[in-house]
């Protein structure tokens, strides 16, 4: 026969297991977000560096350019800026799509497993409550 203490221990173990799964899923989403952020940052740095080199080159050549050559250089530079803007928009759209897909996957999981999802939420709530109460207790000391 199961005692109240064993029941509580079992529930705590289950809550910890569920919280671990939620933590892993959250970590996976955060890792994907960080990875996308690093990708955006790398592309932005490369594009900005390329644009800076182009602008430096244009400034160095300005005194020797004719009006027609200056207009051509200006149009070329504006085209490169537009291309850079489109590349950044493409990466941003990709990140937005990944985040949307993760949210849809989560919603589908919750719909397919409502009781398990509720259990996970309760487990996470219990753990967060315990952590917050411990933290508040230390702050008062």
- Provide the strand spans (E) within the chain: none
Distances (CA, A) of 57 to 51, 62, 64, 74: 10, 9, 12, 12
pLDDT in tens, 62-95: 888 788 888 888 888 888 888 888 887 887 788 7
pTM for the full predicted model: 0.46
Give me the pLDDT at residue 16, please.
Answer: 66
Residues of the chain with pLDDT under 50: 1-2, 4
């Amino acid at each position: 026969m199961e005692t109240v203490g064993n029941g509580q221990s079992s529930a705590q173990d289950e809550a910890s297991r569920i919280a671990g799964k939620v933590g892993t899923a959250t970590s996976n989403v955060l890792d994907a977000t960080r990875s996308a952020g690093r990708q955006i940052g790398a592309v932005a740095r490369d594009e900005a560096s390329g644009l800076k080199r182009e602008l430096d080159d244009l400034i160095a050549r300005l005194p020797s350019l004719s009006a027609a050559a200056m207009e051509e250089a200006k149009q070329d530079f504006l085209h490169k800026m537009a291309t850079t803007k489109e590349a950044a928009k493409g990466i941003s759209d990709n990140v937005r799509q990944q985040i949307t897909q993760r949210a849809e996957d989560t919603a589908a999981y919750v719909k397919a497993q409502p009781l398990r999802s509720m259990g996970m939420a309760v487990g996470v709530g219990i753990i967060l409550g315990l952590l917050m109460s411990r933290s508040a207790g230390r702050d008062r000391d």
